[in-house]
Amino acid sequence: MSDVNFSRKKFIQKAAAIGILTSSGTLLDSCASVHYGIKERGIQFSKFSEVEIELAKLLQAKTVLPYGDWDPSQVLLHCAQSIYYSIKGYPENKSELFQNTLGKIAFWNFSRKGKMSHDLNAPIPGADVLQAGIPLSESILELKKAISTFSNYNGELAPHFAYGKLTKQEYELAHSMHIANHLDYVTIG
């Protein structure tokens, strides 16, 4: 009898979590911490070739203004850092239970919408601190290098710290949406 109650309790907890995460995306969409007055540019990426086009625009821009705690180069280095970690392993991971439940649900929801929303000032857990003041051209080059390294990598990929095990195609989608979420709030002129 207690096994039935335990199973019922776990089922209710999972159902509630799914309902919260997927109900009109409100919880997931409210995670982006951006300063008031900063507008989204409507950027969405699902593959690296789309990222490369936007990086070329950044390189040609006269001005690139940040939106939060990081300068534009730190934003790009953060995105490169995440790509490298998908190959070598993230410094800290959520529990397997989290990855296989809430993490998978979050990734599914982002994939379904074609858009990610997360705390844009949050570093990758356990990651090295991002150096400020790097020239934008150098950080663009570093992100392109990370993309190339990932694209040419044929080994086993490390589990994502929150989403768990992803295929290479799923990882490209996750990284592309991650980059889009960050660049969506960078102002270029």
CA dihedral sign of residues 79, 86, 90, 181:
positive
DSSP 30-72: TT----TT--------SSHHHHHHHHHHHHH-S-EE--SSS-H
CA proximity to 33, closest of 68, 82, 84, 74 = 68
Query: How far is C-alpha 124 from the chain's CA centre?
Result: 9
Residue 38, pLDDT score: 74
Residue 31, pLDDT score: 46
- Supply the DSSP symbol for 164: B
Residue 66, pLDDT score: 84
How far is CA 104 from each of CA 9, 38, 39, 112, 160, rounded to the nearest angstrom?
A: 20, 30, 29, 12, 10
Task: For residues 178 and 180, give the distance between their C-alpha atoms in angstroms, rounded to a whole number.
Answer: 5
Residue 117, pLDDT score: 93
pTM of the model: 0.83
Task: For residues 113 and 93, give the distance between their C-alpha atoms in angstroms, rounded to a whole number.
Answer: 25
Residue 28, pLDDT score: 42
Residue 36, pLDDT score: 57
Residue 39, pLDDT score: 82
DSSP helix/strand/coil, 113: helix
174 contacts 106 by C-beta, under 8 angstroms: no
Residue 35, pLDDT score: 55
Task: For residues 109 and 103, give the distance between their C-alpha atoms in angstroms, rounded to a whole number.
Answer: 10
Q: Mean pLDDT for each 10-residue chunk of the chain (189 residues)?
A: 51 48 41 62 96 96 90 97 98 97 97 95 96 96 98 98 98 98 93
Residue 49, pLDDT score: 98
